[in-house]
Amino acid sequence: MKKEMLSEPAVPNLRQSGLSRRKFFGITGGLVAAGMLLDACNKDDDNPSNNTGNTINLGSGDTGILNYAYALEQLEAAFYMQVAMTPYSGISSGEMSLLTDIRDHEVAHREFFKKALGSAAIPALEVNFSSIDFSSRDSVLTTARSFEDLGVSAYNGAGQLITSPDYLVLAGKIVSVEARHAAYIRDLIANGSFAGSDVVDNNGLDKSRSPQEVLSIAGAYLKSSLNANNLPTS
């Protein structure tokens, strides 16, 4: 198969301290939650932009919305990179292949926003996955479902905040892929739940969430603190 693990230089945005522990993950068999390992690795990391306790300002206008999306894609990419590096026990080859696809998509989204934002991009975020048991299929898929459904609602809610038609279309190009991910993950958890009544209402509409609602949920998985106060609200 064409799929291979990302080599370390291929992931410029993620903390090297976490990623360089791939061999260590191999030794521990992925039984230890990744967040704990990332914690343990913090002390020898000297990247000033990642210091815990820093508040990162997303900015305003369309730039702020792009940074908001960039933050979410960083979170998703980091999650699936960990999933691909330390697959949960009992993972099937089909699941491994498509979860690796999803990782690639999220990395592509993350790198797209980083390039599109250029010097206006927020720094690489520190994630906190201490609540996730990466060895457990149930823990991983439940978290993946949360992330994907959250991402769908985030892009749906951000559409009206975007002023550039080009960026609106780009958000649209990404959100439907996130929805495809969400449907796949949900079907892995319970076949037929791809568009369950917990996410699609009686009008057949998916959820949309404001940045504030999204970040209050995503914040549990981030050590970095994000300031969304200057984002557009309408």
Partner 1 sequence: MNFANILNEIAKADPEVFEKTSERRHVLKGLGRRIALTALPFAVGSVFQKAYGKTTDAVIDTLNFALRLEHLEAAFYNKVLTDAMSIIPTPAAVAAFTGIRDHEVAHVNFLTGAISAAGGTPQAMENYDFTAGGTFSDVFTNYDTLLAVAQAFEDTGVRAYKGGAGALMSNNTFLTAALNIHSVEARHAAHIRQMRKARGADVKPWITLNQSGIGSSAVQPIYNGEENTMQGGVQINGIAGGIGAEEASEAFDEPLDAATVLNIVGPFIM
Summarize as ranges the residues that interact with partner 1 (CB under 8 A): 2-7, 9-12, 98, 101, 104-105, 107-109, 111-112, 115-116, 152, 155-157, 159-160, 165-170, 172-184, 187, 191-192, 194-195, 200-208, 233-234
- For partner 1, the closer of residues 114 and 223 by Cβ is 114
Closest separation in Å from C-beta 119 to partner 1? 15
Contacts 24+ apart (CB under 8 A), 176-185: 177/105, 178/148, 178/151, 178/152, 179/148, 179/152, 179/206, 181/102, 181/105, 181/144, 181/148, 181/151, 182/145, 182/148, 182/149, 182/151, 182/152, 184/98, 184/102, 185/141, 185/144, 185/145, 185/148
Nearer of residues 119 and 234 to partner 1, judged by Cβ: 234
CB of 53 to partner 1, least distance (A): 29
CA 54 to chain centre: 20
Q: Within the chain, where are the H helices?
A: 16-19, 22-28, 34-42, 61-85, 93-117, 137-158, 165-189, 211-218
Nearer Cβ to partner 1 (42/210): 210
Minimum gap (Å) between residue 21 Cβ and partner 1: 18
CA-CA distance, 120 to 115, in Å (whole number)? 10
The tokens describing 96, both together, are: 């491994």
CB of 130 to partner 1, least distance (A): 26
Kindly calculate the radius of gyration of the chain based on its CA atoms and give it in whole angstroms.
Answer: 17
Cβ distance to partner 1 smaller for residue 17 or 156: 156
Nearer to partner 1, 33 or 185 (CB): 185
Output the smallest distance, CB 227 to partner 1, in A.
19
SS3 106: helix
- Closer residue to partner 1 (CB): 140 or 177: 177
Q: Facing residues of 226 across strands?
A: 56
CB of residue 40 to partner 1, shortest distance in Å: 26
